[in-house]
Amino acid sequence: MYLDSEPKLNQAGQQRLGEYRSMLLHTAAFTEKPEPTLRLLPVYLQPASAGTGQWLDDDAQEMTEVDESVPAKAEFGVRIAGDSMEPRFVNGQTVWVKAAQDANNGDIVLCTLNDQSYCKKLRKDENGIALISLNKKYAPIPVREEDEFRIAGIVVG
């Protein structure tokens, strides 16, 4: 770090140099940032309703390059249509989903109910299953025994 002709640091100076080096290495402004890790995930073109239901009529998707801001658990993305999941999710936003056929009470799920797709909070209790909006202006959607209900995944981001 210094030339032989320069004065040598004593032990206190070497200790101070080590402390300064350590401080610099632990300060984001002075350290190199790694290149972001990119990966490809499918994003379905048909949106899921954050409202009153969206007809699911195709599996068209586009591959989208995502970085580490998308959770590692995510397997695909779906755009949101509507405002029933505001303020957490807004119209046009892509939500990232981990494929699953079941979910726990309180999970935000991507699901179909009688061929309509939804992004909703799942409520399971003694009264059965209901799809809950985060926006209080929407009433819960009950899932009845005669309904065709399927969970496609759990929203992870």
Q: Is the pLDDT score of 31 beyond 90? A: no
Residue 36's pLDDT is 80
For 55-66, what is each residue's pLDDT tens digit? 555 578 899 999
Strands (E), the chain: 39-49, 54-55, 61-66, 76-81, 94-99, 108-113, 116-125, 128-132, 141-143, 149-155
Q: What is the mean pLDDT of residues 133-149?
A: 95
23 CA to centre of own chain: 33
Q: Are 76 and 44 in contact (CB under 8 A)?
A: yes
Confidence of residue 98 (pLDDT cuts 50, 70, 90): very high
Q: Is the pLDDT score of 92 beyond 70? A: yes
Amino acid at 77: G
Amino acid at 145: E
Residue 28's pLDDT is 85
Q: Are 109 and 120 in contact (CB under 8 A)?
A: yes
Q: Alpha-carbon distance 28 to 4, whole Å?
A: 32
Q: Alpha-carbon distance 133 to 121, whole Å?
A: 6
Residue 58's pLDDT is 59
Mean pLDDT (the chain, rounded):
88
Whole-prediction pTM value?
0.73
Per-residue CA distances from 26 to 69, 103, 135 (Å): 22, 40, 42
